[in-house]
Structure 1
Amino acid sequence: MLPFVDYELPTEPPPGPPIAIVGEAPGSDEVRQGRPFAGRSGKLLDETLRTAGLDRRTCLVANTFRFQPPGNKVAHFFASRGRARKEGVGIVEDWGPFGSSDYVRAEFAPDLDHLRDTLRRLAPAVVLALGRTPTWALTGRNGILGLRGQVLECRMVPGAKVVPTFHPSYVLRGQLRDEPLFLADVRLAMAEAGR
């Protein structure tokens, strides 16, 4: 059984329309602390939110998948048709391809359903997608570098917007020059929510 970290629900009422923040999957710091976006990535996220004027306590903070993948590799949640046949695992094609040919493994598809149901219940105006995986889950589109900083339609919540941006771990892995873009994307999400 893979380590599990559930969502962090808002603990304070938002001063305007709700915003959700969705990442990829928990890492070892999140598992140790039992909450999404802990450790170095969480620190950068919290600092960026604070600089932008967004209180984390007013947001849903979640991951697309609530299980920590082996080696922190999100590819664990996906398989091509051929690989799925070879390994004898089911895939769910309803969510569309992740990349060019991979689909979510059937055992992890319920996490996408749970994310959709949670988002519909909380009805955020905007979802900040931190990385490739949540951008795909929320919009059905691939290619974070080409999509970041745009405002897209959310396929999980009719009427909600998605602002794709970098995952904090990407910025921390030698891409510090992109930190101002990360901050700009958080501010864009806030502006789209009317905050």
Structure 2
Amino acid sequence: MCRPQAARTRRRFCPASSAASRTFSSLLVQGARSLGLTSVTILALSSVPALAISLGTQQLIRDSSDGFSLFLDGQLKVGDHCTIGTPKSGKIDGTVLSMGMRSICLRLKNGSQLSMPNSQVAGSVVTNHSLRSAEPLELRLSIPKLETQALADLQSRAQALLTATQDLASASTARGLAIACYRCCRTQHLLIKLPNHHHL
């Protein structure tokens, strides 16, 4: 009982709404023609919003796909110090604060924040300074002429100080610190060789 009535209701209102739509369209076209616009101009103007939406959606999809690629490649991660770009195109140097599906946020050296679209990052040369190879570091310090026992005390204190340093704790236990005293040209030197590490 109810379904036939609903069908009759749809048949009753659909022609009316269709007629109203055709009437509105014809009035819109007549109004545009009264302003001196041709059918080609009306068609071109009607395609502008669709084109704008299409371009905006295309950029959004591109940024999202490039962000997904950066995440999968592991090229950058939060906390990395990186340089994006080249000297010719312009370089941006900073630390990665966050990585989203549309953009990457960097903390620049002057303290400001910069948001870059993922598509721009993916199309640029990216140098990740946090992934550079570690190199051993040698420190040669000139010291005053000391007795043998004083030199031994100085050497042991330097060993204890560097081993207790938090940044060198794991590296020192893995490869050890080389600390030695030697004399050259009547001057005593303290030689400290730090193991492979990125930062002091």
Q: Which of the five TM-score ranges fits, normalised by the shorter chain?
A: under 0.3
State the TM-score, normalizing by the size of structure 1: 0.19
Q: TM-score, normalised by structure 2?
A: 0.19
Say which structure, 1 or 2, has more relative contact order (CA 8 Å, 6+ apart). 1
The structure where helix makes up a greater share of residues is 2
* Higher gyration radius (CA): 2
Structure richer in strand, relative to its length: 2
